[in-house]
Amino acid sequence: MTRRPTISQVAELAGVSKATVSKAFNNRGGVSEQTRIRVLGVAAGLGWRPSARAVALTSGGSGAVGFVINRPPTLLSSDPYFAELLSGIERTLAEHGYWLLMQIAEHSTPAQERDAYVSLAQTQRIDGVFLAESRIMDQRFDIVAELDLPAVIVSRPWARTDIPWEGAAHPGGGVADAVAHLAGLGHRRLAYVAGPPDRSHVQFRTQAFLEAVAENGLSVVGISRTDFSAEEGHRATGDLLGQREAPTAILYDSDPMAIAGCRAAMARGMRVPEDLSVIGHDDIHLSRWTTPALTTIRQDVQGLGERCAARLLELLGVLVAPGVALPEPELVIRESTGPAR
């Protein structure tokens, strides 16, 4: 069969109406068990199933899920992480007939953030929501529970919660390998340019960094907090290199910050990696094309998006084929790290 099978073909071969086919798949009354089995058997033989969106609409849902990104749009435009994450989410949602309703805005107060979720749930009538960049004390967990809104947390949360999450089992993974790599190159003074301290993944990585530094007998000469932007990465690098005891290597919480950090070092007349070793995080596509090519910690961001979308669809009663397990973050060694001088 070259064309996608239709509900009309299922109805014709099963000898029933299209309405009966719909009732059989939605477990609604008015259909005998014998007829239900026959309809499901014909549909399986043809390889037909109702779209998830159609099922959602039939059951009173909207066929849409929401994603609120609490960042300024200008900041988001410079961070490829979310583009890759959304690519994975959209790919899986589209396969099952769902669509994504996204809101990008900076909610500076808890009340503004709460209003955003209430509006999505009650006005836009989304069926579920993704919770990205979970925080140490995250009010969104209480908000979705209050709204009775199915949700999936993107990446492991800091504290235990009943809300399901998808991501690496060890969010700080790769950081210990990065520190060990630098120690093997003779570096003894390390610094870390991190994101906001209330973010769960930032805390996991910072904890892994401090533990690895201690394990390798190295010194931390600075930890700078940023908003993840390249501009802040540039500023933080300049501050760290201007200290009396400057680092010989810096780890960053994102690749854009690491790339900007290389520029900040060059502006001070330093060379990477001869005078300063640099390690990023995420392994965005651009990282392999920079000069020097960026040593970074790789994570499968698109795969994370796919798994989060599949998990949310499962919560909504959609049958989703099981996906492969996410790989743990791993160090990718390129040209931006070298022996300490």
Rounded-to-integer distance, Cα 299 and Cα 171, Å: 10
Residues 183 and 271 in one domain: yes
- For residue 227, the enclosing domain spans 175-299
Residues 21 and 71 in one domain: no
Is the pTM above the cut of 0.85? no
Residues 279 and 232 in one domain: yes
Q: Give φ, ψ of 104 to 5 degrees.
A: -115, 115
Residues 134 and 240 in one domain: no
Query: Residue 184 falls within a domain, yes or no?
Result: yes
Each residue's pLDDT expressed in tens, for the chain with a length of 341 residues = 446 677 788 888 889 887 787 777 766 677 888 888 888 888 888 877 665 555 555 555 568 899 998 887 777 667 788 889 999 999 999 888 888 988 888 888 889 999 989 888 887 678 899 999 999 999 999 999 999 899 999 999 998 999 999 998 888 889 999 999 999 999 999 999 999 999 999 999 999 999 999 999 999 999 999 989 999 999 999 999 999 999 999 999 999 999 999 999 999 999 999 999 999 999 988 899 999 999 999 999 999 999 999 999 999 888 787 777 889 999 999 999 999 98
Query: Residue 310 falls within a domain, yes or no?
Result: yes
Alpha helices in 59-96 (DSSP H): 73-76, 80-95
Residues 182 and 284 in one domain: yes
Q: In Å, what is the CA distance from 279 to each residue of 223, 249, 257, 265?
A: 14, 8, 10, 13
Residues 140 and 283 in one domain: no
Query: Residue 242 falls within a domain, yes or no?
Result: yes
Residues 189 and 276 in one domain: yes
Residues 156 and 82 in one domain: yes
Number of separate domains in the chain: 3
Query: Residue 324 falls within a domain, yes or no?
Result: no
Reduced to 3 states (helix: H, G, I; strand: E, B; else coil), residue 51 is coil
Q: Give φ, ψ of 93 to 5 degrees.
A: -60, -45
- The domain that holds 13 is classified in CATH as 1.10.260.40
Query: Residue 111 falls within a domain, yes or no?
Result: yes
- The domain that holds 119 is classified in CATH as 3.40.50.2300
Q: In Å, what is the CA distance from 155 to each residue of 61, 89, 166, 250, 299?
A: 26, 13, 5, 24, 11
